[in-house]
Amino acid sequence: MKKINQPFNAYADYYDSFYQDKDYVGETKFILNVLKNFSKDKGKEILSLGCGTGTYEILLSQAGYQLVGVDFSDKMLSIAKEKAGQAGAKIKFFKGDVRKFTTPQKFSHVLALFNIIGYQNSDLDLENFIKTAGRHLKPGGLFMFDGWYQPAILKDRPQNRRKIIKLANGRRLERITTQTLNIEKSLLQITFQLKELGASRKIIEVKEEHPMRFFTLNEIAYFLTKNGFQLIKSCRFKHLQEAISEDYWDIFVIAKKI
């Protein structure tokens, strides 16, 4: 088995296949509703940290916004650029670490979707991630992101999972997800084992590790305040009027640059 230490390396080739049922359209409508209700700056410039294969960015571009996407994975960016080209979406994509990325451009909004904050495993990582958003936002601009809520994870403990999907080439892809909880470090160690299967023989087998951090709301509020933000709203992702709850892992945060 080939083990990949850098997340979204070999996994990038299969990323969109595994998330083909994800409600990107509904989630994008949610983001547009957040912007409508909370943004005083009607500018159209959005910086997307951890843009992956660019699906959110393409949908937001089609809604009239000007997108800049940043990701650390060459493969994810290559796929994103190809998809944007096919969609006729004019999006700028850059390779960069979301903890260090910098560009002279200022934005009205910064996004980090699909639990990018979870990859900020240490407090220093988290602070630098928030600082990246802050130095690229105009005063009063919004920083929006989703993540995992600690009380919910401790109540509804993670379970190992197995998923099989059919690929366009007729083969099958199996993903085995192993999850180990580290309560002391507030980390969920996720291991993806991928197997692409042909009619009679195994084609590939790859293993990737994704350590994901989960948070209390107080933690998030503390680091936002410390780094020049005001937390103005928290809710369930896709449910603007629903408070965060120990019954749901997801949390969505809207913060304003002071």
Domain extents in the chain = 18-148+216-257, 152-212
Label each residue of 156-214 as H, E or C. Answer: CCCCCEEEEEECCCCCEEEEEEEEEEECCCCEEEEEEEEEEECCCCEEEEEEEEEEEEC
CA dihedral 73, 78, 79, 83 (to 10 degrees): 140
pLDDT at 197: 77
Q: How far apart are CA 116 and CA 83, in angstroms?
A: 21
pLDDT at 196: 82
Mean pLDDT confidence for 79-96: 98
Domain 18-148+216-257 in CATH 3.40.50.300? The answer is: no
Please indicate, yes or no, whether the overall pTM of this predicted structure exceeds 0.85.
Answer: yes
With 60 as the cut, is the pLDDT of residue 38 above it?
A: yes
pLDDT at 202: 59
pLDDT at 5: 47
pLDDT band at 1 (very low <50, low <70, confident <90, very high): very low
With 70 as the cut, is the pLDDT of residue 167 above it?
A: yes
Please give the CATH number for the structural domain made up of 152-212. 2.20.25
pLDDT at 101: 98
With 60 as the cut, is the pLDDT of residue 4 above it?
A: no
pLDDT at 171: 80
With 50 as the cut, is the pLDDT of residue 58 above it?
A: yes
Q: Which residue has the tokens 């350590």?
A: 211
pLDDT tens digits, 172-183:
889 999 999 999
pLDDT band at 130 (very low <50, low <70, confident <90, very high): very high
Q: How far apart are CA 54 and CA 253, in angstroms?
A: 21
Mean pLDDT confidence for 156-183: 91
Give every CB contact of residue 57 below 8 A, 6+ residues apart in sequence: 48, 51, 67, 69, 80, 84, 89, 91
